[in-house]
Amino acid sequence: MTVKIAHLADTHLGYRQYGLQEREEDFYDSFKNVIDNIIEQEVDYVIHCGDLFEQPKPPIKALLVAQECFTKLMNNNIEVYVIAGNHDILQRRKSSLPQELYKNDKFHIITTKDNHHVLKEDIYLTGLPYLQKIHEKIIQNKLNELVVETKEHKHSILMLHGGVKKLFTFECEFENDTIPEGFDYYALGHIHERKMDNFKNGLMCYPGSTDINNKAELKEYENNGKGYTLLTIDDEIHAEYVNLNLERRFIVKDIKYYELDEKIDAIANYIHEKILSETNKKPIVILNIKEGKFDRSEVSEKIYKKLGSISLTVRLSYEPTTDRTDGPEITEELLNPIKALKDKIGKELNGDLEDLGVELYRNLSKKQLEEAEEYSDAYFNKFYKTGEDNDNQ
């Protein structure tokens, strides 16, 4: 018998991009479209690998949309298994997850303590919620415990939330050695890119986010689409991306100042003829005006006059020509505070304090006080207390 599983992640329900209600609604629409397509595919199970919500205390509308969609799945005899992502977790001990509102015999939350499930056709499903990198040794020990069970079953799936070194060049939550060999399918969330590759005799996959969370994701969307991953399991596991078009369009352009009039006229014509003729959702326009000496207020006034009424929002940045030649050359390295922090701490203190300093900078610069406190507590427990384990959720 063939079993179908839909793997999705990073839906970020409740995210109000640019502070716009319309963008929050777009994320709801994207999630609803994914759910409807999953039902059309007649899948047996849905696994969601974290960041269901944008924040651990979601707006009421986000909770209601999630409830509506999960009820629709369960009414079609589709069971749901979820793990918490970093956006879902309130970084406070004994705090509850918003997903617990939906928990029943067809909606399951995989935690550090409740993580053994056997699906039909002897498919072993397990996983862990998001845990900060400082807990990597704890994560490795728990995963080594979980992998033992795979030997007793025909197929095995591991659900995790975080970046894995194997697939990315930036600093990741998981080193390759942290995740053990032995699983057939490694279902990941957290990174909004779509990535799929062999990993330790199994297949590792990121389904990507279901909508565009920032401008950097536009190229990824153009190349690889948005949606979810569909697993088909018989004697082997087959995975393919299911693409769903996003109705809201983004227009991103670099415009040289001397071409400004020509280019914004062309954009206005494109919006009228190619976008608003097909949908009532106005596009998001992101323009960078560069080269030449100009008055920013005059440029922005001209752009808003032609594009403001036919765009959901217009986001502008400027790179005018300057005559400045004195002073040091401004490079990406000089503008990178994390690199500067690492260089400073690394020269004078040990690597563990370097990690602590970087994490505190990242959290405090975003006013994420609870996350900073959690990381500080974990650091203190790791290096100044003994015999204590930290079970996150």
- From the candidates 7, 12, 87, 192, which is the catalytic residue? 87
CA distance 109 to 91: 18
Cα 244 to the center of its chain, rounded Å: 17
Query: Which has the closest alpha carbon to 35: 25, 46, 24?
Result: 46
Q: Exposure string (b/e) for 280-318, b if CB count within 10 Å is 16 or more?
A: ebbbbbbbebeeeebeeeebbeebeebbeebbbbbeeee
Q: Which two tokens stand for residue 77?
A: 């005899």
Helices and strands per DSSP (H, E), number in the chain: 9, 15
- Would you say 183 and 156 are in contact if contact means Cβ atoms under 8 Å apart? yes
Tell the burial category of 81 from Cβ atoms under 10 Å away from its Cβ (0-12, 13-18, 19+).
Answer: buried
- Active-site annotation holds for 116: no
Give the list of residues 6+ apart from residue 9 with CB closer than 8 angstroms, or none. 48, 49, 50, 51, 85, 161, 188, 189, 190, 206, 207, 208, 209
Q: Active-site positions?
A: 87
